[in-house]
């Protein structure tokens, strides 16, 4: 996608979600819309209608060429993203529901990891981003929803660098030890960090996310403020607990038909999608235990369990259905009498007025998921408690538990505890029921879904804020235990690391502060400093102009160090004259500001000054370089032509370390490498596990470095910390 940078100041909203606000079905060749009843759609729709905008999503059917589903009567634009059957299988059932759903719900044994699912997931995410790119420029905000679309923000950011992007995750964000199981964990984090604002239901998920960002990407985070410094761009992460349309549920419960007769049975209600995260089998066992522990409830209590059919194409879900059928049969078989059976199980969707009547008339709601992002059923039950109040038994592993404190909270895996909570709920006196339910209702009425939308949109408009500047204490927390009292061997790239990137290499000058710090470091007996650059050695030596340093030029093909014999890679010599020929051949791509910098054994073709799309020119230059027998490597707005001799900055660093300290160098010195470029990635990879590596600057590319530093100022702070550290062995 070609980048564009204009941003609209209008108030239009662009929503991206897996599903559109309605499902399309093909009925005798004609497309028909069925509105979605989900609470989220009900909340987002008015916001979109008010502000105008676009909703982008999968319509639920594969559209044929030229088929349209938008209508001129739509209050906002509807953009369908059509998916083929295979794409639905791999992106939706495969990666979204077969990998992310179980893993994010802390059930890793159920997650499968299939590279083909991943590839399709990425492809579909790119397609969503492409569909949104045009609207992004006209919108005040692009709001991406849920785990199906975690990569889209990254692709959107590339297409519309100045767009305001936000994401909300409706399921839990898992702790680092689970998240790291995912082979593509870094890609997902990078996807989300392309946003300005990333929202979760509760603070626990925010902290898990920040933990993963820090540990996996080495980005700086401010946990208290919920900020991430991702290569100099600040991203805000926050908790926005979702609410429901309280008034709608309350009114429906008030007007729903009253039961014909109030039976003698007390009702414990369960309402769920049929999903293994919802803990339905555990709940049935809980009821069985209740009847064992407290026989007085036999004949007097019934568990009414509603289950909406869900994802029935997936075998795990079919197995679950079978398991529940068998359990219901077993428990009913064990306790039923001529006139009573303990479980009534309905496997279907029920219309709203029946659902709200059931909520209203239930004595106890049993909401015991094994893990749940939020859980709206708990909130809907509370909103419908308009008469004699019942009691909510709630899993402490649902996001809802963090605010619904007055519920009776249980660990859903603890069957005895669940049984005792049911008993307590069934025997609770009215005064206690009223005070618990009163508090729950007041909170849900106030923190309803409309408040949630406003809160999220307000936050997306607010200034993201800044992280506090890097402190010595923070740098110390990264380096002290690694360095101990070893000597330090420090390798520093030049352009973009020690100096900001500028429009011409000749303008990249060291600041006095950094020069003095490096000079100071070089004078220490326990520190060796090397400057390792893609520039010619003589060039970089002249620019830094400090004694006592090691200089490596041409990505390490030539090295000069105060204590070592000079090094020239022997095969590189053969390429000297060929560089001159290549420079001439590249003449034809030196137009519109592009130019060639011959550097002895290597050469750089720069295109920073080319206006507009340089894609075709870049491709042509690459062909010339590769056609001349050189390797072409991307650098910042440049292509590097290097001899194909298997030598890079990583190998050069290892050469220096071995030459200086011998093969046992890891026992002699601690290595720190700081760089900002693709060419530094070679060193990050070679040194993995044997050095502290820092990647400087904008973060859209993934890195093998251990940590990120935002800019040259952050590098200066690290150098200054190193210069001030106590002398080794003192
Ligand atoms: P879900 O996993 O779908 O949502 P939940 O929040 O409980 O879970 O919502 C289920 C919805 O389905 C409720 O609105 C409920 O009324 C409805 N429903 C269930 N059974 C029904 C039946 N038999 N008939 C009719 N309606 C029925 C995901 C996350 C949650 C998060 C929501 C919103 O998994 O944790 O709360 O998104 O962010």
Asked whether the predicted pLDDT for residue 40 surpasses 90, the reply is no
Model pLDDT, residue 104? 98
Residue with tokens 């592993």: 397
* Mean pLDDT in residue range 260-271: 84
242 lines ligand 1 (CB under 6 A): yes
Model pLDDT, residue 9? 46
378-411 CB burial, b ≥16 within 10 A, e <16: bbbbbbbbbeebbbbbbbebbbbbbbbebbbbbe
Tell me how crowded residue 542 is: count the other CB atoms within 10 A of its CB: 11
More confident residue, 698 or 496: 496
Instruction: Point out the least confidently predicted range of 294-298, 385-389, 502-506.
Output: 502-506
Question: What is the separation of C-alpha 36 from the centre of its chain, rounded to a whole number of angstroms?
Answer: 27
Which ligand 1 atom minimizes the distance to the CA of 271? Answer: 20
Residue with tokens 């993963």: 212
Model pLDDT, residue 592? 87
Asked whether the predicted pLDDT for residue 485 surpasses 60, the reply is yes
Asked whether the predicted pLDDT for residue 1 surpasses 60, the reply is no
Model pLDDT, residue 613? 83
Asked whether the predicted pLDDT for residue 37 surpasses 90, the reply is no
Q: In what order do the strands lie in the sheet with 603-606?
A: 595-598, 603-606, 638-642, 631-635
Q: What is the pLDDT of residues 609-624, one digit of tens each?
A: 888 888 899 999 999 9
Asked whether the predicted pLDDT for residue 2 surpasses 50, the reply is no
Model pLDDT, residue 244? 93
With bands split at pLDDT 50, 70 and 90, how would you rate the model's confidence at 54? very high
Which ligand 1 atom minimizes the distance to the CA of 373? Answer: 35
With bands split at pLDDT 50, 70 and 90, how would you rate the model's confidence at 496? very high
Asked whether the predicted pLDDT for residue 359 surpasses 80, the reply is yes
Q: What is the pLDDT of residues 640-672, one digit of tens each?
A: 999 998 899 999 999 999 999 999 999 999 999
CA 141 – CA 164 distance, rounded (Å): 5
**Beta pairing partners, 559:** 552, 567
More confident residue, 210 or 677: 210
131 lines ligand 1 (CB under 6 A): no
Q: What is the pLDDT of residues 205-258, one digit of tens each?
A: 999 999 999 999 999 999 999 999 987 789 999 999 999 999 999 999 999 888
Asked whether the predicted pLDDT for residue 729 surpasses 80, the reply is no
CA of 415 relative to ligand 1 center, distance in Å: 23
Model pLDDT, residue 614? 86
Model pLDDT, residue 730? 58
Q: Which of 43, 376, 403 to mutate to test the pocket of ligand 1 (most atoms within 8 A of CB)?
A: 376
Q: Domain spanning 13-239: which CATH class is it, in words?
A: alpha beta
Which ligand 1 atom minimizes the distance to the CA of 400? Answer: 36
380 lines ligand 1 (CB under 6 A): yes
More confident residue, 518 or 32: 518
Could you write out the DSSP letters of every residue in 436-491?
HHHHHHHHHHHT-HHHHHHHHHHHHHS----PPPP-HHHHHHHHHHHHTT-EEEEE
Model pLDDT, residue 630? 93
CA of 641 relative to ligand 1 center, distance in Å: 57
Distances (CA, A) of 235 to 84, 173, 345, 717: 34, 17, 46, 22
Name the average pLDDT for the chain: 93
Cβ contacts of residue 306 below 8 Å, gap of 6+? 269, 270, 271, 272, 346, 348, 350, 355, 358
**Entry pTM:** 0.90
Model pLDDT, residue 260? 64
Q: In what order do the strands lie in the sheet with 13-19?
A: 77-80, 53-58, 13-19, 141-145, 165-168, 197-200, 233-239, 227-230, 220-222
Asked whether the predicted pLDDT for residue 545 surpasses 90, the reply is yes
Model pLDDT, residue 46? 79
Cβ contacts of residue 595 below 8 Å, gap of 6+? 605, 606, 609
* Mean pLDDT in residue range 86-97: 96
Asked whether the predicted pLDDT for residue 166 surpasses 90, the reply is yes
One fold for 13-239 and 469-569+647-730:
yes
Q: How many residues are present in the chain?
A: 730
Query: Which of 196, 147, 186 shows the shortest CA–CA distance to 169?
Result: 147
Model pLDDT, residue 395? 98
Round the CA-based radius of gyration of the chain to a whole number and report it.
Answer: 31
Side-chain half-sphere exposure of 166, counting CA atoms within 13 A: 26
Which ligand 1 atom minimizes the distance to the CA of 352? Answer: 25
CA of 377 relative to ligand 1 center, distance in Å: 6
Q: Which fold has domain 469-569+647-730?
A: Rossmann fold (3.40.50)
| Residues labelled catalytic | 493
Per-residue tokens: 310: 């869900």
* Mean pLDDT in residue range 445-474: 93
CA 274 – CA 575 distance, rounded (Å): 67
DSSP 94: I
Model pLDDT, residue 39? 61
Query: Which of 376, 488, 476, 392 shows the shortest CA–CA distance to 440?
Result: 392
CA of 38 relative to ligand 1 center, distance in Å: 8
Model pLDDT, residue 6? 42
Residue with tokens 């409309």: 450
Q: Which of 375, 384, 447, 452 to mutate to test the pocket of ligand 1 (most atoms within 8 A of CB)?
A: 375
- In three state form, how does the secondary structure of 123-160 look? HHHHHHHHHHHHHHHHCCEEEEECHHHCCHHHHHHHHC
354 lines ligand 1 (CB under 6 A): no
* Mean pLDDT in residue range 563-588: 90
CA 51 – CA 44 distance, rounded (Å): 11
Alpha helices in 336-448 (DSSP H): 352-361, 377-383, 415-427, 430-446
More confident residue, 511 or 465: 511
193 lines ligand 1 (CB under 6 A): no
Architecture of domain 572-645: 2-Layer Sandwich (3.30)
271 lines ligand 1 (CB under 6 A): yes
272 lines ligand 1 (CB under 6 A): yes
Write the residue with the smallest CA distance to atom 15 of ligand 1: 377
Tell me the percentage of the chain whose pLDDT exceeds 70: 97
Tell me the percentage of the chain whose pLDDT exceeds 90: 79
Where are the domains positioned within the chain? 13-239, 247-447, 469-569+647-730, 572-645
Alpha helices in 194-314 (DSSP H): 203-217, 246-255, 280-293
Q: Domain spanning 247-447: which CATH class is it, in words?
A: alpha beta
* Mean pLDDT in residue range 152-175: 96
């Amino acid at each position: 996608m070609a980048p564009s940078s204009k941003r609209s100041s209008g108030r239009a909203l662009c929503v991206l979600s897996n599903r559109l606000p309605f499902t399309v079905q093909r009925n005798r060749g004609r497309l028909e819309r069925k509105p979605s009843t989900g609470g989220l759609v009900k909340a987002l729709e008015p916001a979109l209608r008010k502000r105008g905008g676009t909703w982008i999503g999968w319509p639920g059917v594969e559209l044929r060429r030229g088929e349209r589903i938008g209508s001129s009567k739509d209050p906002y634009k509807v953009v369908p993203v059509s998916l083929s059957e295979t794409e639905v299988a791999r992106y939706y059932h495969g990666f979204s529901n077969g990998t992310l759903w179980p893993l994010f719900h802390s059930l890793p044994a159920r997650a499968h990891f299939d590279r083909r699912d991943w590839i399709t997931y990425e492809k579909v995410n790119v397609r969503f981003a492409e569909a949104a790119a045009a609207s992004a420029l006209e919108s005040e905000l692009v709001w991406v929803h849920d785990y199906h679309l975690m990569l889209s923000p990254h692709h959107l950011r590339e297409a519309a660098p100045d767009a305001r992007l936000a994401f909300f995750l409706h399921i839990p964000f898992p702790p680092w030890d689970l998240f790291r199981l995912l082979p593509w964990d870094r890609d997902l984090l990078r996807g989300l960090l392309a946003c300005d604002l990333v929202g979760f239901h509760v603070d626990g998920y925010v902290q898990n996310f920040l933990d993963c960002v820090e540990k996996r990407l080495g980005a700086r985070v401010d946990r208290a403020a919920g900020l991430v410094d991702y290569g100099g761009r600040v991203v805000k992460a926050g908790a926005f607990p979702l609410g429901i349309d309280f008034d709608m549920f309350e009114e429906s419960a008030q007007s729903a038909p009253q039961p014909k007769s109030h039976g003698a049975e007390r009702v414990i209600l369960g309402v769920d999608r049929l999903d293994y995260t919802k803990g339905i089998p555990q709940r049935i066992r809980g009821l069985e235990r209740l009847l064992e522990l407290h026989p007085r409830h036999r004949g007097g209590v019934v568990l009414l369990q509603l289950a909406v059919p869900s994802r029935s194409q997936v075998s795990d879900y079919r197995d679950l259905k079978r398991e529940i059928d068998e359990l219901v049969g077993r428990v009913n078989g064990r306790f039923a009498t001529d006139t009573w059976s303990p479980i009534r199980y309905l496997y279907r969707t029920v219309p709203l007025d029946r659902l709200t009547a059931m909520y209203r008339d239930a004595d106890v709601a049993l909401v015991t998921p094994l893990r749940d992002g939020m859980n709206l059923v708990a909130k809907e039950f509370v909103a419908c408690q308009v008469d004699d109040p019942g009691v909510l038994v709630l899993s402490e592993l649902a996001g809802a538990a963090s605010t619904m404190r007055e519920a009776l909270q249980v660990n859903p895996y603890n069957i005895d505890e669940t049984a005792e909570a049911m008993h307590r709920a069934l025997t609770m006196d009215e005064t206690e029921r009223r005070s618990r339910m009163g508090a729950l209702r007041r909170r849900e009425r106030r923190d309803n879904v409309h408040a949630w939308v406003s809160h999220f949109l307000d936050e997306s408009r607010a200034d993201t804020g800044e992280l506090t500047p890097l402190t010595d204490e923070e740098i110390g927390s990264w380096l002290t235990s690694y360095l101990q009292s070893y000597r330090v061997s420090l390798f520093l790239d030049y352009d973009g690391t020690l100096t900001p990137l500028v429009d011409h290499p000749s303008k990249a000058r060291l600041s006095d502060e950094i020069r003095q710090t490096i000079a100071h470091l070089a004078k220490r007996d326990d520190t060796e400093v090397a400057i390792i650059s893609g520039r010619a050695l003589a060039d970089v030596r002249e620019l830094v102009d400090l004694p006592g340093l090691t200089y490596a030029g041409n990505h390490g093909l030539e090295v000069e160090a105060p204590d070592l014999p000079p090094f020239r890679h022997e095969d590189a010599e053969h390429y000297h004259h060929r560089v001159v020929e290549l420079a001439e051949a590249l003449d034809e791509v030196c137009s519109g500001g592009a130019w060639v910098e011959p550097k002895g054994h290597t050469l750089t073709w720069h295109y920073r000054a080319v206006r507009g799309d340089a894609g075709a020119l870049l491709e042509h230059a690459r062909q010339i370089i590769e056609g001349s027998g050189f390797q072409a490597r991307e650098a910042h707005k440049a292509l590097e032509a290097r001899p194909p001799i298997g030598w890079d900055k990583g190998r050069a660093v290892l050469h220096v370390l071995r030459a200086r300290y011998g093969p046992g160098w890891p026992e002699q010195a601690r290595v720190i490498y700081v760089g900002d470029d693709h060419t530094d990635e070679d060193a990050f990879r070679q040194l993995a596990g044997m050095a502290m590596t820092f990647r400087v600057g904008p973060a859209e590319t993934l890195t093998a470095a251990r940590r990120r530093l935002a800019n040259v100022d952050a590098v200066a702070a690290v150098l200054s910390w190193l210069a001030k550290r106590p002398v080794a062995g003192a």
